[in-house]
């Protein structure tokens, strides 16, 4: 197994660790595991990255900047906010300070340029070999159906209209059908959801085009700078509701990290987000409860076959009571399944700084 390590060094203005602490942890891990890349971000501290970059490069490891795209940028720059298809602000849950999960509009050129501007202003000379794009989506069911039924701002309305769909028609349709707007006739990890309603099918198809358009444009920007690009994605089971269609979004990327988190009770956790989906869509037909067992992991991995980029599924290795209750057996089992399904490697997510050493040792397959 080849590994990519993920380190949450802190949000823009809040540093979680001193440089020496991170280098010490990295030294411990690379003695035990074969590591090819480290994803680190997004605190603004060029000196931290420069020093860590020297250490990683001396050990033949690439350094990628963890960069949120349609969330968190509002803490640094002016953004065009996101609206639902009824034209109301989508909002965000209060989960953790500094991690508000507010999403801005994905079609806005200003928002797309913010990502590039943030990189060029704060990170361009830090020695990064690539970027890892996170929050490349709309809001999810955490804000009820208004999350998946966004963004509906004027700019997005134009995008949908140019693709033959009126967002007023989407809003009217939901107002008439309620949860049954989301009815599906089938789901498979490989082919995704078959929405029964043609307006719903068209909406999610065009939404995926819009997000892919934004991501592919951003990817090309970083490729032109000679940087590699990885993508942080919701599990295939959940992606389409936030605008992530694996076939469309992976066209230009170098690698993807599907977040196959089965122990995370927070956004991007499969059980957490799918549970919210079931709560919100009570009354929609075709949705079955899922068990977050090994079979779910195997099924989700099937959805990654035939994609043009490298696949490095992400497994949580950090531990926090009530939020992410991982253990060595879970980590070992998950990584063995990922290896056996033919992935290129795995990302030890989402913060190796918060992982007990026995969790790192469990990754030694």
Q: Which residues pair with 53 in a beta bridge?
A: none
Polymer length in residues for the chain: 365
Distance in Å, CB of 144 to Zn ion, minimum:
18
Work out whether 156 is an interface residue with Zn ion (CB under 5 A): yes
Work out whether 170 is an interface residue with Zn ion (CB under 5 A): no
Is the Cβ of residue 151 or residue 352 nearer to Zn ion in the bound state?
A: 151
Work out whether 211 is an interface residue with Zn ion (CB under 5 A): no
ω before 151 within 30° of 0 (cis)?
Answer: yes
Name the one range near Zn ion by CB under 5 A: 127-135, 147-155, 320-328, 352-360.
147-155
# of chain residues touching Zn ion (CB under 5 A): 6
What is the rounded distance in angstroms from the CA atom of residue 237 to the CA atom of residue 340? 20
Name the one range near Zn ion by CB under 5 A: 146-154, 181-189, 241-249, 334-342.
146-154
What angle (nearest 5°) sits at the alpha carbon of residue 32, between those of residues 27 and 33? 95
Distance in Å, CB of 134 to Zn ion, minimum:
19
What is the rounded distance in angstroms from the CA atom of residue 9 to the CA atom of residue 235? 24
Work out whether 149 is an interface residue with Zn ion (CB under 5 A): no
Is the Cβ of residue 243 or residue 313 nearer to Zn ion in the bound state?
A: 243
Is the Cβ of residue 105 or residue 256 nearer to Zn ion in the bound state?
A: 105
What is the rounded distance in angstroms from the CA atom of residue 204 to the CA atom of residue 53? 40
Please state, in angstroms and as integers, the Cα–Cα distance from residue 113 to each residue in 79, 80, 216, following that order. 10, 11, 13
Q: Which residues pair with 40 in a beta bridge?
A: 7, 65
Is the Cβ of residue 45 or residue 84 nearer to Zn ion in the bound state?
A: 84
CA 186, 246, 41, 62 torsion-angle sign: positive
User: Contact, 292 vs 253, CB < 8 A?
Assistant: no
Name the one range near Zn ion by CB under 5 A: 104-112, 214-222, 226-234, 305-313.
104-112
Distance in Å, CB of 107 to Zn ion, minimum:
5
Burial annotation 34-54 (CB, 10 A radius, 16+ → b, else e): ebebbbbbbbbbeebbebbbe
Q: Which residues pair with 346 in a beta bridge?
A: 3
Name the one range near Zn ion by CB under 5 A: 45-53, 148-156, 171-179, 340-348.
148-156
Work out whether 153 is an interface residue with Zn ion (CB under 5 A): yes
- Considering only 5, 56, 92, 105, the residue that binds Zn ion (CB under 5 A) is 105
User: Contact, 119 vs 67, CB < 8 A?
Assistant: yes
Work out whether 133 is an interface residue with Zn ion (CB under 5 A): no
Distance in Å, CB of 207 to Zn ion, minimum:
10
Work out whether 29 is an interface residue with Zn ion (CB under 5 A): no
Work out whether 362 is an interface residue with Zn ion (CB under 5 A): no
Work out whether 118 is an interface residue with Zn ion (CB under 5 A): no
Longest dimension (CA), the chain: 61
Residues forming the site for Zn ion (CB under 5 A): 105, 107, 151, 153, 155-156
């Amino acid at each position: 197994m080849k590994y990519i390590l993920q380190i949450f060094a802190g949000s823009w203005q809040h540093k979680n660790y001193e440089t020496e602490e991170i280098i010490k942890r990295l030294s411990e891990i690379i003695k035990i595991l074969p590591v090819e890349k480290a994803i680190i971000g997004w605190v603004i501290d060029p000196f931290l990255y420069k020093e860590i970059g020297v250490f990683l490069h001396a050990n033949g490891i690439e350094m990628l900047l963890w960069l949120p795209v349609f969330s968190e940028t509002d803490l640094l720059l002016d953004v065009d906010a996101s609206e639902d298809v009824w034209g109301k602000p989508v909002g965000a849950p209060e989960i953790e300070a500094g991690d508000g999960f507010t999403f801005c509009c994905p079609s806005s050129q200003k928002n797309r340029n913010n990502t590039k501007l943030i990189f060029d202003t704060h990170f361009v000379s830090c020695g990064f070999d690539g970027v890892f794009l996170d929050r490349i989506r709309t809001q999810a069911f955490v804000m009820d159906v208004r999350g998946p039924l966004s963004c509906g701002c004027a700019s997005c309305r134009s995008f949908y209209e140019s693709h033959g769909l009126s967002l007023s028609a989407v809003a009217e349709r939901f107002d008439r059908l309620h949860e049954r707007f989301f009815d599906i006739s089938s789901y498979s990890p490989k082919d995704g959801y078959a929405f029964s309603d043609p307006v719903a099918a068209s909406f999610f198809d065009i939404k995926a085009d819009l997000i892919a358009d934004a991501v592919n444009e951003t990817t090309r920007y970083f490729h032109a700078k000679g940087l590699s690009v990885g993508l942080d994605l919701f599990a295939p089971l959940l992606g389409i509701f936030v605008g992530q269609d694996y076939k469309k979004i992976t066209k230009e990327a170098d690698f993807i990290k599907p977040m196959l988190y089965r122990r995370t009770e927070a956004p991007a956790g499969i059980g957490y987000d799918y549970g919210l989906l079931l709560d919100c869509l009570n009354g929609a037909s075709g949705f079955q409860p899922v068990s977050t067992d090994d079979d779910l992991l195997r099924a989700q991995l099937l959805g990654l076959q035939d994609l043009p980029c490298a696949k490095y599924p992400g497994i949580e290795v950090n531990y926090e009571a009530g939020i992410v209750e991982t253990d060595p057996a879970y980590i070992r089992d998950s990584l063995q399944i990922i290896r056996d399904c033919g992935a290129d490697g795995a990302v030890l997510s989402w913060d190796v700084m918060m992982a007990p050493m026995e969790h790192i040792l469990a990754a030694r397959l």
